Structure formats: C-alpha cells, structure tokens
Amino acid sequence: MTEVKVCLHCGNKTQMELINSHEHEEGEFEYDDEQGPYQIGAYFEKYNFYKCPVCNRFTLELEESNTFYIESNGAMPVTTKILYPAIETSLSKLPSGVKAAYQAAQKVRNIDGAICAIAIRRTLEKMCKDQGVTGRDLYTKLKQLSEKGIIPPILDEMSFLIKDIGNQAAHADEGEFDEHLINSLLKFTSIILEYVYALPSEIKKIQRYMSTLTEEKEEKVIGENRKDGE
Ligand SMILES: [Zn+2]
C-alpha cells in the first residue's frame, strides 16, 4: 500500500510505501461505588511506518483520535503528526510572522541546510522587528536586544555566529551547511525564542502560583488567630 506524502528527509512529495502499521487503544474509566469501574471513552493511536522511494529513508507517523472529541456529524477527527524525522515543536507563544519563519526553518532542516540557515536568519530578523529594534544588520539588532535586557548577554555573544549567515548561505557551496551546524543554529534560535516569548509568561505563571500559596497561608494564619481568640 502506498500513500502520497511529503518526505521530510528529501522534500519530495511522493508515493510513500506503508511498510507497517500498529494500532493501540486505551480506555478511560470512572468508578462508581455500586457498579464498579465503567468505561467513559477511549483514546486511539495508530503508528504508520513509511519508506520513501526517492531517498529510501523512513518516516514514523502517529494518528490520534478519541471519543471525547466528536464532531456534530458524528465523525471522529484524526490528528496526524510526524514523530520521525524529528521536527522541533513550534512555540505556541510566537507571533505569527516569527512562527511562520521558524516553522519554515524546521521544515527544511533535513532537506537543505543553506535554505534552513536563511529561514533561521529571517526568524531572528522578524523577532527583532517584533521587539522594536532597528539596527543595520542582524548582529547589531541582537546586540540592541541584549542592551535593552530582552536577551541575556550570553546569547548576544553567540550572535556573532549568525552574523553573516544570510550571505554565507546564499553563496555557500553544497555541504557547507552541514547537519551539525544547522542543528546548533536551530538550538540557538529556539533558546532565544523561548527566552523572549515563552519565559516571561512562564515566570508570571509561577509568580501567580506563589502568590496564591502566600494568600492561602495568610488566610490560614488569620483563621488560626481567630480560633486562638475564641
Ligand atoms: Zn525521501
């Protein structure tokens, strides 16, 4: 059996050979004192293992569905994700322009290193614009972000790495952007994005949680004091 899919190794949209499939079902149960446990729904997983006829490499896909999410016409929607080759999950907090550029970089990472490097550069340029810095090049802009305290100095030290990346990528000979360099650049980019977009809201979440703890503690102390006074 074959299915038309995009191979994330070579980038070809092609008839991929389905080599194997495995289905797995997990029930969700609740407990009733009289009846005992009873099933209230189920989660379904299906793993599909494909081989690309162009590059001969493999893809592992996961299809997920569950009985808790059924459309009004009775259909059970299936979400599909590629587990291998690995594509880093996008950060949900990214502004749409930054997100699109970052996703483009992720998509081509196993396909074309130079194009991936250009997409990484675009991602960082868009982030700088979103953060309101306007230097003459990416290096200057990242320096400004560091001066404004939006990224820590250690990340700005790293930015010399990507200083000329766009030019290098545009004029690179094949093979110059090897997997190792691309992986390092993507890691660097994901750390910066996480620092700028995800970390502030994570810290706020922790602060909110800590303040509810303090409030609860204060309420308890007040309650105990009242008891003492009685
Ligand atoms: Zn392929």
More confident residue, 218 or 148: 148
Give distance in angstroms: CA of 59 to centre of ligand 1: 9
Which pLDDT score is estimated for 166? 60
% of the chain beyond a pLDDT of 70: 86
Mean pLDDT of 27-32: 90
Give distance in angstroms: CA of 99 to centre of ligand 1: 25
Give distance in angstroms: CA of 124 to centre of ligand 1: 29
The three-point CA angle 193-199-200 to 5° equals 115
Task: Tell me the C-alpha distance between 93 and 82, whole Å.
Answer: 21
Task: Tell me the C-alpha distance between 98 and 90, whole Å.
Answer: 10
Give distance in angstroms: CA of 223 to centre of ligand 1: 67
The three-point CA angle 132-137-142 to 5° equals 55
Q: Given a cut of 70, is residue 91 above it in pLDDT?
A: no
Instruction: Decide if 43 contacts 26 (C-beta within 8 A).
Output: yes
Give distance in angstroms: CA of 105 to centre of ligand 1: 18
Give distance in angstroms: CA of 58 to centre of ligand 1: 8
Q: Express each pLDDT in 126-165 by its tens digit.
A: 999 999 998 888 888 888 998 998 888 877 766 766 766 6
| Tokens encoding 220 | 């308890």
Instruction: Decide if 92 contacts 154 (C-beta within 8 A).
Output: no
Instruction: Decide if 69 contacts 77 (C-beta within 8 A).
Output: yes
Q: Given a cut of 60, is residue 189 above it in pLDDT?
A: yes
Which pLDDT score is estimated for 176? 66
- DSSP letter, residue 151: S
Give distance in angstroms: CA of 51 to centre of ligand 1: 8
Strand partners, 2: 17
Window from 34-38, 47-51, 125-129 with minimum mean pLDDT: 34-38
Distances (CA, A) of 35 to 26, 30, 39: 21, 10, 11
* Residue with the two structure tokens 């749409």: 96
Give distance in angstroms: CA of 102 to centre of ligand 1: 22
Where is mean pLDDT largest: 12-16, 34-38, 108-112, 128-132? 128-132
Give distance in angstroms: CA of 209 to centre of ligand 1: 47
Give distance in angstroms: CA of 94 to centre of ligand 1: 30
Give distance in angstroms: CA of 50 to centre of ligand 1: 10
Instruction: Decide if 11 contacts 112 (C-beta within 8 A).
Output: yes
Which pLDDT score is estimated for 59? 94
Give distance in angstroms: CA of 6 to centre of ligand 1: 8
